[in-house]
Amino acid sequence: MKKINLAAALLPVVFAAGCATGPSAEQQAAMADDARKTAGSLIQQLGGELKKSMEANGPEGSIAVCKEKAPAIAASLSKSSGFDVKRVSPKNRNPKGVPDAWEAEAQAALEKRLAAGEKPETLDTWQVVKTSSGKEFRYAKALVTQPVCLTCHGANIADGVKAKLAAEYPDDKATGYGPGMVRGIVSIKRPL
């Protein structure tokens, strides 16, 4: 029987399938699907907590939900999904919510799509990018303002809410929004 060097024989296949060229279109679509589900779960969980708290405690009493529950839900989803999940915005409230270059570009692109008439529900984008330490899968989902968001992010915030926000977030940039604007993105990434 002729011996085949299996490793050598397979190497070009492996490279063609993944390593050299990055994940295939199908693999990318599957990762985007996963990321979309993870972002959806963050939005749903946080929205549920916020609604419950707004009804029970009003806006002033709900600032803590955004401050504590939002990062906690993101951390728990990061653990369960294997992605790194967070919320960022060029007009950030949380001092840690500053977008990196990819996130800023992604949000700008999503804003253009919204302005061109696309529905908020479908406003997401993804890309495989090269970094100094290898390749990374990146995903962004737009968070578009609804009327409730304006209680804490709008142009006419009630005095009590304003005072509490100023005390908790002295460098707050996340006000002055109207309805139907991109407040920020859910940003998801995973090294490949």
Residue numbers at the binding site for ligand HEC (CB under 6 A): 50, 59, 62-63, 66-67, 70-71, 87-89, 92-94, 97, 143, 145-146, 148-149, 151-153, 174, 183-184
Least gap, CB of 38 to ligand HEC (angstroms): 15
CB of 57 to ligand HEC, least distance (A): 9
Q: State which residue, 50 or 188, has the beta carbon closest to ligand HEC.
A: 50
Residue in the structure block whose two tokens are 């369960």: 80
CB of 8 to ligand HEC, least distance (A): 50
Nearer to ligand HEC, 91 or 135 (CB): 91
d(CA 140, CA 81): 15
Q: Which is nearer to ligand HEC, 31 or 165 (CB)?
A: 165
Residue 113's Cβ-count burial label (10 Å; 0-12, 13-18, 19+) is: middle
Token pair of 42 as six digits: 């963050």
Rounded to a whole number of angstroms, the minimum distance from the CB of residue 118 to ligand HEC is 17
Q: In what order do the strands lie in the sheet with 124-131?
A: 84-88, 182-191, 134-144, 124-131
- At 49 the three-state DSSP class reads helix
Q: Please tell me the distance from the alpha carbon of residue 145 to that of residue 132, in angstroms, as a whole number.
A: 35
CB of 146 to ligand HEC, least distance (A): 5
Q: Name the residue nearer to ligand HEC (CB basis): 24 or 146.
A: 146
Do 124 and 36 touch, CB atoms closer than 8 A?
yes
Query: Nearer Cβ to ligand HEC, position 54 or 128?
Result: 54
